Structure 1
Amino acid sequence: MIAFTNTVNFMKLKTPAMLLSCFLVLGSLGLIFFKGLNFGLDFTGGTVIEVGYSQSADLSQVRQTLDAAGYGDAVVQYFGSSQDIAIRIAPRDGVEQSRISNEVLSALTAATTDTVDLRRVEFVGPSVGAELKEQGGLATLAALLCILVYVAFRYEWRFALGAVAALAHDVIITVGLFSLLWLEFDLTVLAAVLAVIGYSLNDTIVVCDRIREGFRKIRDALPVEVVNESLTGTLSRTLVTSLTTILVLLVLFFQGGALIHGFATALLFGVLIGTYSSIYVASSISLMLGISREDLIPPPVEKEGEGTESLL
């Protein structure tokens, strides 16, 4: 064994980290399958109506008004401020979008003395929403498959399995957070999940490259020592990249408005969990699969005519 100075022993916590990851992944899968996701209009279809009041609106009163008008299944929530309200109504067969928005606006106007303005109306058919949901899932699976092939070709199959496991880990836990908190899951959140895959992959590739170089340069060291030394070498880069990204996402989260709140939430959580998985999940799985120096050193290439001197 070689004693490295100023090396952080990351792999000392390998077993607790893997147990924590298994718990979070299984818990997230349980939430996704049994509780489900709060799919937005992009996936479920329906009508979204945004209205503005001259004063603060009472959500309970708005719900009672819509219930009396025949829209008891409407989802009502504040949209940016207490004066702006977003109303989501499930698709209705044989009912035109303009009729729904007119009936809702008339009911809300008649129930209050405040001025009610119609700000925005959006409609998505249920078939389009189902198609977007299917294509979004296929896009995520295709991204993971392409990453598996690339990393296996570029580095080593043990690194490939570790990298894809880390990416799947990040996606599942991020989606599980949206199920746990019952946050709306729409196309912007799906885009954020795909962005999390790209961000986490970048971190994982840097770690894999550093570990490969560590095995080639450090001789007579155990694999776990090489991994610890390599992770320590990338620590400053990982922290600086993650912190600067998180600062930007915090600004988007608090100041970006309701339209990108879900996007910022998914990316903010995804960056945190992606940084953790790049250090522990990908590296730990590669070690458990038996990565070694011999796997990462290219075989010697015999030159033409080499070894023929002994025959002469």
Structure 2
Amino acid sequence: MEIFNHNANVNFLGMRKVSIGIAVLLMLVSIALLAVRGLDYGLDFTGGISAEISYQQPVAVADVREALAKAGMEHAVVQSLGGTKEVSVRMQPTAAMLDQGKVNLDKVSDVVSRALKAARPDAQLKSRSSVSSQVGDELRSDGTVAAIFVILGIGLYLWVRFERRFAIAALATEVHDVLVTLGVLAITGREFDLTVLASVLAVIGYSINDKVVVFDRIRELFRLARKAEPVEVLNRSINSTLSRTIITSLFTAITMAALYFIGGAVVQGFAITMLIGILVGTLSSIFVASPILLWLGVSKQDLMPQTKENPELARRP
């Protein structure tokens, strides 16, 4: 199945100055947004109140969320607890829940119970607890470390799998993809919680998958061509994998769109972040990664073993 001609000859590398310029500009704008506006961290990172509520009859998560919103708790996160009769609620404390600036769990119970019983008299508050911001700080730092290790691990893999120039190009584009994705989240003010963090890590994996496909074709064409001009090989590689790249991105985006519209509020952050990452990662695979390879001076000699007995040849897939 192909959308574009496998043997098309679109001169993507001819636009490299413009594409790299736009990529750098987007990275700088994203860094500025993250520095000035920052991310809108959710309860997972800022701390707050957690409560568990049970009902005698099945209840819809949307109805619980609506009841809390009517009582002034608009941003409460409501999730089902493995059934239809129990839900968990996470939210920032309101003024009515505070006592001299500190959370009073007795007031939490009173406020939440009254709000839910007004909509459903069978609501029963099972437990409530307060989560400090210190836990959120630890989660934020752990998430940052996880993202860095994922990117560095991918770079190391590509260094072994291909060649150091491919690893450098992949690292540069991964940093670009993550920064631009976070920049979009910052400018739109979308809440950044653990599900969004998970989607950012998924974006890293998805993006590198696209680039590995193009890199593999680049290596293959370099080895097959007798006279391998880097610009020609890179252009042919992008063109020959373009249908695969677009089709994969399109169907993944359709899945994420369905998750966004049908999956409910809990997974909307994950879905929209993936949609942003898919778009950014696809464009960087086509317009950014290969120009960086060309700038680094990739050539046929870099990808060919020097002798037949070279153990590097046997080790590479």
What is the TM-score when the length of structure 2 is the normalising length? 0.78
The equivalent residue for 2:82 is none
* Conserved? CA contact 1:52–1:118, under 8 Å: no
AA matched with 1:20? I
SS at structure 1 position matched to 2:159? helix
Q: Size of the alignment, in residue pairs?
A: 281
* Conserved? CA contact 2:223–2:303, under 8 Å: yes
Q: Distance in 2 between matches of 1:213 and 1:45?
A: 51
Match of 1:299 among 303, 306, 312: 306
The equivalent residue for 2:13 is 11
The equivalent residue for 2:234 is 227
Change (3 A) 1:265 1:219: same
Q: Distance in 2 between matches of 1:52 and 1:238?
A: 37
Cα shift readout 1:134-182 (whole Å, capped 9, x = no counterpart): 1000000011111111111211111111111111111111111111011
The equivalent residue for 2:277 is 270
The equivalent residue for 1:102 is 110
The equivalent residue for 1:40 is 42
Change (3 A) 1:225 1:251: same
What is the aligned-residue RMSD (CA, Å)? Answer: 3.2
Q: Is 1:76 equivalent to 2:80 in the alignment? A: no
* Conserved? CA contact 1:53–1:115, under 8 Å: no
Change (3 A) 1:89 1:281: farther
AA matched with 1:22? V
What is the TM-score when the length of structure 1 is the normalising length? 0.79
Report the alpha carbon displacement of residue 55 of structure 1 after superposing the two structures with TM: 12
Which of the two has higher C-alpha Rg?
1
Match of 1:133 among 134, 140, 152: 140
**Structure 1 runs not aligned, ≥5 long:** 64-74, 304-312
* Conserved? CA contact 1:174–1:270, under 8 Å: yes
Match of 1:89 among 77, 93, 98: 93
Q: Distance in 2 between matches of 1:242 and 1:175?
A: 19
The percent of aligned pairs where both chains have the same amino acid is 41
AA matched with 2:92? R
The equivalent residue for 2:31 is 29
AA matched with 2:295? M
Cα shift readout 1:191-236 (whole Å, capped 9, x = no counterpart): 0000001111111111111101111112224211100001111111
The equivalent residue for 1:71 is none
**Structure 2 runs not aligned, ≥5 long:** 1-5, 54-60, 79-88, 311-317
* Conserved? CA contact 2:68–2:112, under 8 Å: no
SS at structure 1 position matched to 2:74? strand
